[in-house]
Structure 1
Amino acid sequence: MKPDPHLASLASALSGTVSGAPALDTLRQLLDVMPAMVGLLDTQRRHLYANQAYLDYMGRTLDSLIGTTVGDILGPETLRNNSAAVERALDGETVQVEGWLPRSGGGNDYVTRVHAPYRDPDGSIAGYFVIMQNMTERRRTQDDLFRLAYYDPVTGLANRLLLVKHMADFHAMGEPFTVVIVDFDRFVDVRTSLGQGFANEILTDVATRLSVRAGSVDLIARISDHAFALLIGGTQDPLAVEERLSTIASLVRSAKTASGASVFLSASIGVAASCDTHTRPEDVLRDAEIATGRAREQGGGRHAWFDPAMHARVVEQVRLEHDLRRALERGEELWVAYQPIVEMVTGGLAGFEALVRWNHPERGNIPPGVFIPIAESTGLIVTLGAWVLREACRQIAEWQDKRLPGSANLFMSVNLSTRQLNDPDMVALVREVLRETGAEPSWIKLEITESAVMEKAEQSIRLLQTLRGLGIKMSIDDFGTGYSSLSYLHKLPIDSLKVDRSFVMAMHQSEENRAIVRIIMDLARLLGFDVIAEGIETSADANLLRALACDYGQGYHFARPMPAADADRLVGAEHLPWQVPR
C-alpha cells in the first residue's frame, strides 16, 4: 500500500533530529493554531505548559503562566470547583465536566473541560492535561431554545409545557399538588376592541401581580391566550385556598396597563387537587380546566372546585358531539317536529314552528335542551340550523298547496341561533334554500332571541335588514327575558314579538303579571308588530290572551310538536282539534 504523502510529511516533521528540536517546534505550532485550549499542570496543580488559545483565555504569556495555579489566575473558588476532577485525573481517570468558568478579564463563559492524566515514560503520573472548549454561544442558543420552548414571550412566565414538567416531578415523587386556573372572561372582546398591545400589557400586569401577591406558589404559567395556572405543592387547606382565590379575583379586577389605563376584567377560576385516581399529571390540569369551564357556564367572575361528576358530564358531551356529527353526516336520526301556530280570534291554523328532534339509535330521544347547547358551543349549530331551514322550507312549500281554498298562506317559523346570526354566509344560504325548495320568502319567519341580537346589535341589524330585503319575515323570540334596549327595538327590521312562556304561565298569578303581557302587546302594536304568545297550556290562558288582543298563539292547549305526517293532516282540515264546535 502506497504511503499517504501528507501523513508522511507530518511524520517526518514530528520525528525531527536526535535532539528533537524541530519536532517540538512543529508540535508547538500545531497546538498554537488549535481552537481548543490545552494546558499541562504538575501534581501540585502548577502550570507547566499552555497553548496560545489557553494563554489568551487566561490573559497571560507563557512565561508569566508557568508555575501558577488556576486559583492564582481565576480565583480560589474556581480552584475548589475543579478539585474533584483534578483528583480523579491524578488517580489515572479521564474526566469530562462542563459549566460556567470565569474569565481573567471579567465575565463568564460556558466551557467543557477534559482532565486527563499526564504520565512519565515509566508510566507514573506526573501531572494532568486540561483541554477546554468554549461553548458559550452554543449554550446561549440552547438557553434561547429552552426559553422559546418553555416560557411565554409576552409575560415571561412559564408556559403549559413547563407546567406539565413540574407537575410530573411532583407526581413522580408522590407529592400532592393543587392547580388553580385563572381564565379571563371576555378577554377576546377586550383584545378585539382595544388592541393586542393593550391586551398584552394587561396580561403582563396580572402576571406581575400574581407573582407578587398570590401567595406562595411553586410555579405560575400562562397556559393559553387568556389563562394562567398556579401550581401549589403540598396538601392544601380548602379554606386557605378559598381565601387565596378571593385575592386572585381582586388582582384580576385591578389590572392596569403600563400607562395606568384599566378595563373591567373578571375571571373564571377552576381548582383541582391531585389524588390517587390521577394516573398522569396532565389529568389534574384537565380537571382544573373542566372546573374553570363550569365556573364560566355559571356566568363567569366566580370559581369552582372540580368534582368527578364534572368530568363525567364533559365525557358525555364529547360523546354526544361525536354522535351528533355522525347524525348530521348520515341524515337519519334527526327529524323536524312541527308545532301549530294558531290565529287566536278564529282558532284557524296560521302556520308552524319547526323544531329539531334527535332520535339517537341507542339512547332514544335526546331532549333539545341537551344537544342544542352542545351544537352551539361546538359550532355544529350552523350545519344543524341549515339542515332544519332546508327541511322546513321544503315542507311549507308542500303544505301551501294543501291549505283550504281562499285561506291565507301558512308561515313557517325557524329559529336562528347566535352562531348563525354571525355567520357571513347566512344570506347566501337563505337564498340557496329558497331557490332549491321553491318556498316563497314571505312564508318564512326567522326567530332570533333578543339577547342574540343585542350581543352585536349593529351587525345584527345589518344582517336582518338584508334578510328582510329578500322578503323574509323576522321575529324576536322569548321577548322580555333578555337584555334588549328600546333604543334598538324600533330599529330592528322585525314583524313579530314572541311573548315568552314564562310570562304567559304567570298571567293568572297577579295583576302585575297580566300588566306585563298587556304592555308587551301595546308596545308591539305601537311599533307595528304582531304578537305570538307561546306556552299556552289551558283554555284560561287562551281566553285571557284573546281578551288582550293577542294575534297568534302556540302551546300544548292547541297541539304539541308533531311529526310532519301528523301535521299534514291539520293542513286543509275544515275543523281543527282545538276549535270549539259551532
Structure 2
Amino acid sequence: MERLVELVSRVLPAPAALIVLLGDDRRTFWAGDIRRDWFAHDAGALVRCGLLQRCAEHGGSLSIADLHATDDVVLRSAAVELSIVSLAASTFLRADGSVAGLICALDEVPRAWSPDELRVLAEFGAMAGTELQLRNVIADREAREQRLRHDSVHDALTGLPNRALFMKRLADATHRARRGEDRLFAVLFLDVDGFKLVNDSMGHHVGDEMLVKIARRLEQCVRGGDIVARLGGDEFAILLERITDVRDAAMIAERVQEALREPLAIGGYEHATSASIGVALSSGANEQPEYVLRSADIAMYRAKNSGRGHYEMFDRAMHAEALTRLQIETDLRHAVDRQEFFLHYQPIVSLRSGRITGVEALVRWQHFERGVVSPATFVPVAEDTGLVVPLGRWVMREACRQAVAWQRYAADASEPFSVSVNLSVREFGQPDVVRTVASILEETGLPPRALRLEITESAIITQKHPAIETVEQLRALGVGIHLDDFGTGYSALSYLHRLPLDAVKVDRAFTSAIDQEDRPLHVVRAIVSLAHAIGLEMVAEGVSTQAQLALLREMGCNLAQGFIFSRPCSAEEMELLLSTNPRW
C-alpha cells in the first residue's frame, strides 16, 4: 500500500495522496509533499465528513475543485477542519462487494480534476482492493498454517500439548543438561485411576469432560515454565524444569493428588477421581528423553499396583524389573510356537460324596532358559499385552481334549467329569468369545456340560459390551459359569442375582483362615448362605487342613479344592490319582 500511494502522488501528480482502509483492516497510508496531523491520527475524519457517502452517491468516484465554494455544508465544514481545498476520491471494494476503503488525492489550492485523473485514481483504487484481497488471502493462509502447526502439537480435546510437543520439550531439557545448564529436571507420568470404568459405564462424553477438567486442574498445579501434556487416553505427563532436588518433584506430585481428590462436577453429578503417578528425575548427561519418560511410566505402574492415588519415585531396581518384564513379553510371544506351555490339573472334590468330580486346568510355562516360570510372573504380562487371548484359547483346547479322555472317571453317571478353565478379562471381552468356546467344544468333542468357565468380578464389570448378554450366550451353549475369587474384587452383589451363574468360588484368602479366625469363618458362612439362597453352588478353594474341610462340610459347601486333596499336577499324575478312585 505504501508503494501504491506513492505512485498516486507522483502520477496524478498531487501534493498529497491517502489510502484509508476501513473495518478490521483500519489503517492509513499517505504520501506527498504536504502533511496534516490527521493523516496519521484521524483519517476517519474523511468518513465522518460524509465523503464516503458522497462517493457512493456518485458511482464510487467523486472530485471537488474547491471545497470552500461547494454548496455541501458538510463538505465545506470538513474542508476547514481538515485544512484542504480540493480533492478527488474513489472507493474500492472487498471480494464480497463491501467497501474496503477510500483512495484520495488532495490539494491545497482549487483544482479541477480531469476525467483521466479520476479514471487513473479509480484504477489505483482497484489495485488497492486487489492488494488488500491478496493480503487477506495470505493472512488467512498463514493463520490456517499456524493453526495446523498448533493442532499438530496439541491435543484436540484438552488443548494441552500432545506427546510430540512434550517429547520436543523433554529433548530440549536433556540437551541443556548435557551442556551443563539446568541439570536437574523431572518427569511425572500420570494415569487416571478407574477411568475406563467411568468411560464405559457413563459414556464417552462424560469421560471426555472428565479429561478436560483434569487437564485444567493439572495446569493449576505447575509453575509457569513447566509443561503439562496429554499423551493419549487417560495418560498425562508433566515436565518440571529447573528443580533443586527430588523434594520439588514430590511436592508437585502431592499437589496433583490433592487437586484430584476434589470431586469433579460433570453433568449434575460429582465424580471422585485420583491418579497413579510415576516420577523420574534426570540422572546423567547422556540420558535420552525416551528413557526418562519410560522410567516415569515404569514408576507409574508400580504406583498403580500399590493402590489408587499413589505416586512412586523411579529407581534402578524398577529398571531391572522393567527389563525382566520386557524379556518375558518377548519370550512369551515365542513360547506357543516353541510349545513351552503345559497344563497342570488340580482336583475339585464333592463335599457330599468325597469324590473327585472334576479338575481345574492351570497353565504352566517351561521357559527354555529359566525353567518353570511362575504364573504370577507371566500371566499379568500376558494379560497386559493381549497375549493371554491366544494363550487362553490354547489352554481351553488342551484342557477340553484331556477332559474327554477322563470322562470314564465321572463320579456320577448323570454328570460328566468336568474341567474348569479360567477366562481372563481380555478373553471375556473378545467379541467372538462365545463363538470360540463353541468351536473348541465341537473340535474336541467335549460335552458342553463338562466345561466350567471361571470368570472374575472385574472381568464382568469392566466390559464395554453387556456382560449379562455374554454370560447368557455362553450358558446357552450348555457350559457352566463360575464366578471366581468372589469377595476379592468389586463384590457387586447385584451381579449375583442378575447373572445366570452356576456357582460362586470363594477365594483362598478366606477359606485358608476359617479354622484360625472368626471373621473369615463368618464371611465364608455368609457367602455359602447367600449362594444357596439364590440357587448357586459354592466352591471353596485353598483348602489345606482337615479342620477347614470339616467346617466347610458343616456349612453345606458343595465343592472344594486345595492341597489337602492334591497339589496341581501333570496329566499323568492326575490320571494315576483318578485311577485309585480316592475319597475324602
**Normalising by structure 2, what TM-score?**
0.72
Q: Does 1:340 align with 2:347?
A: yes
How far does residue 358 in structure 1 lie from its aligned partner after superposition?
Answer: 0.7
Aligned CA distance change for structure 1 residues 278 and 535 (closer, same or farther; 3 Å): farther
1:528-573 superposed Cα distances (whole Å, 9 cap, x missing partner)? 33332221223333334334443322222221111112222233x2
For residues 551 and 197 of structure 1, the distance between their equivalents in structure 2, rounded to whole angstroms, comes to 46
Q: Which residue of 2 aligns with 1:290?
A: 298
Q: Does 1:468 align with 2:498?
A: no
Q: Which residue of 1 aligns with 2:403?
A: 396
1:492-521 superposed Cα distances (whole Å, 9 cap, x missing partner)? 322222232222221221344333333333
Instruction: Give yes or no for contact 1:536–1:557 (8 Å, CA) kept in 2.
Output: yes
Aligned CA distance change for structure 1 residues 64 and 508 (closer, same or farther; 3 Å): same
Q: Does 1:243 align with 2:243?
A: no
For residues 404 and 516 of structure 1, the distance between their equivalents in structure 2, rounded to whole angstroms, comes to 30
Q: Does 1:162 align with 2:162?
A: no
Aligned CA distance change for structure 1 residues 232 and 461 (closer, same or farther; 3 Å): same
Instruction: Give yes or no for contact 2:221–2:252 (8 Å, CA) kept in 1.
Output: no
For residues 524 and 188 of structure 2, the distance between their equivalents in structure 1, rounded to whole angstroms, comes to 46
Q: Does 1:510 align with 2:517?
A: yes
Q: Does 1:323 align with 2:331?
A: yes
Q: Which residue of 156, 172, 175 maps to 2:175?
A: 172
Q: Does 1:362 align with 2:369?
A: yes
SS at 1:431's partner residue? helix
SS at 1:535's partner residue? coil
For residues 405 and 164 of structure 1, the distance between their equivalents in structure 2, rounded to whole angstroms, comes to 65
How far does residue 138 in structure 1 lie from its aligned partner after superposition?
Answer: 5.7
- Superposition CA RMSD, Å: 3.8
Q: Which residue of 2 aligns with 1:270?
A: 278
For residues 286 and 270 of structure 2, the distance between their equivalents in structure 1, rounded to whole angstroms, comes to 40
Instruction: Give yes or no for contact 2:185–2:239 (8 Å, CA) kept in 1.
Output: yes
Aligned CA distance change for structure 1 residues 309 and 39 (closer, same or farther; 3 Å): farther
Q: Which residue of 1 aligns with 2:190?
A: 182
| Structure 1 spans left out of the alignment, 5+ residues | 1-34, 41-46, 75-104, 106-132
Q: Does 1:537 align with 2:544?
A: yes
For residues 385 and 435 of structure 1, the distance between their equivalents in structure 2, rounded to whole angstroms, comes to 17
For residues 227 and 203 of structure 1, the distance between their equivalents in structure 2, rounded to whole angstroms, comes to 10
Instruction: Give yes or no for contact 1:272–1:291 (8 Å, CA) kept in 2.
Output: yes
Q: Which residue of 2 aligns with 1:484?
A: 491
Q: Which residue of 2 aligns with 1:4?
A: none
Instruction: Give yes or no for contact 1:278–1:284 (8 Å, CA) kept in 2.
Output: no
The code of the aligned residue for 2:366 comes to N
For residues 435 and 195 of structure 1, the distance between their equivalents in structure 2, rounded to whole angstroms, comes to 38
Instruction: Give yes or no for contact 2:457–2:484 (8 Å, CA) kept in 1.
Output: yes
For residues 38 and 316 of structure 1, the distance between their equivalents in structure 2, rounded to whole angstroms, comes to 72
Q: Which residue of 1 aligns with 2:94?
A: none
1:241-282 superposed Cα distances (whole Å, 9 cap, x missing partner)? 333323222333447579886432222222111111752123
Instruction: Give yes or no for contact 2:163–2:231 (8 Å, CA) kept in 1.
Output: yes
The code of the aligned residue for 2:550 comes to N
Aligned CA distance change for structure 1 residues 429 and 236 (closer, same or farther; 3 Å): same
Aligned CA distance change for structure 1 residues 347 and 411 (closer, same or farther; 3 Å): same
Q: Which residue of 2 aligns with 1:143?
A: 146
Counterparts of 1:4-19 in structure 2, within 5 Å, are: none
How far does residue 445 in structure 1 lie from its aligned partner after superposition?
Answer: 1.2
The code of the aligned residue for 2:538 comes to V
Aligned CA distance change for structure 1 residues 277 and 383 (closer, same or farther; 3 Å): farther
- Say how many residue pairs are matched: 477
The code of the aligned residue for 1:395 comes to Q
How far does residue 297 in structure 1 lie from its aligned partner after superposition?
Answer: 2.5
Q: Which residue of 2 aligns with 1:546?
A: 553
How far does residue 301 in structure 1 lie from its aligned partner after superposition?
Answer: 1.8
How far does residue 148 in structure 1 lie from its aligned partner after superposition?
Answer: 2.3
Counterparts of 1:434-445 in structure 2, within 5 Å, are: 434-445=441-452
Of 423-432 and 305-314, deviating more is 305-314
For residues 463 and 354 of structure 1, the distance between their equivalents in structure 2, rounded to whole angstroms, comes to 22
The code of the aligned residue for 2:474 comes to L
Instruction: Give yes or no for contact 2:453–2:480 (8 Å, CA) kept in 1.
Output: yes
Aligned CA distance change for structure 1 residues 201 and 414 (closer, same or farther; 3 Å): closer
How far does residue 361 in structure 1 lie from its aligned partner after superposition?
Answer: 0.5
Instruction: Give yes or no for contact 1:291–1:304 (8 Å, CA) kept in 2.
Output: yes
Q: Which residue of 1 aligns with 2:527?
A: 520
For residues 519 and 325 of structure 1, the distance between their equivalents in structure 2, rounded to whole angstroms, comes to 43
Q: Which residue of 2 aligns with 1:496?
A: 503
Aligned CA distance change for structure 1 residues 556 and 139 (closer, same or farther; 3 Å): same
For residues 556 and 377 of structure 1, the distance between their equivalents in structure 2, rounded to whole angstroms, comes to 30
Identity among equivalent positions (%) equals 38
Instruction: Give yes or no for contact 2:162–2:230 (8 Å, CA) kept in 1.
Output: yes
For residues 277 and 172 of structure 1, the distance between their equivalents in structure 2, rounded to whole angstroms, comes to 8
1:402-439 superposed Cα distances (whole Å, 9 cap, x missing partner)? 66896853111111112222222111111111111111
The code of the aligned residue for 2:155 comes to D
For residues 486 and 193 of structure 1, the distance between their equivalents in structure 2, rounded to whole angstroms, comes to 17
Q: Which residue of 2 aligns with 1:114?
A: none
For residues 546 and 163 of structure 1, the distance between their equivalents in structure 2, rounded to whole angstroms, comes to 61
Aligned CA distance change for structure 1 residues 244 and 497 (closer, same or farther; 3 Å): same
Q: Does 1:214 align with 2:222?
A: yes
Instruction: Give yes or no for contact 1:201–1:257 (8 Å, CA) kept in 2.
Output: no
For residues 542 and 283 of structure 1, the distance between their equivalents in structure 2, rounded to whole angstroms, comes to 52
How far does residue 295 in structure 1 lie from its aligned partner after superposition?
Answer: 2.0
Q: Which residue of 2 aligns with 1:129?
A: none
How far does residue 64 in structure 1 lie from its aligned partner after superposition?
Answer: 4.4
For residues 142 and 398 of structure 2, the distance between their equivalents in structure 1, rounded to whole angstroms, comes to 65
The code of the aligned residue for 2:423 comes to L
SS at 1:158's partner residue? coil
How far does residue 376 in structure 1 lie from its aligned partner after superposition?
Answer: 1.4
SS at 1:386's partner residue? helix
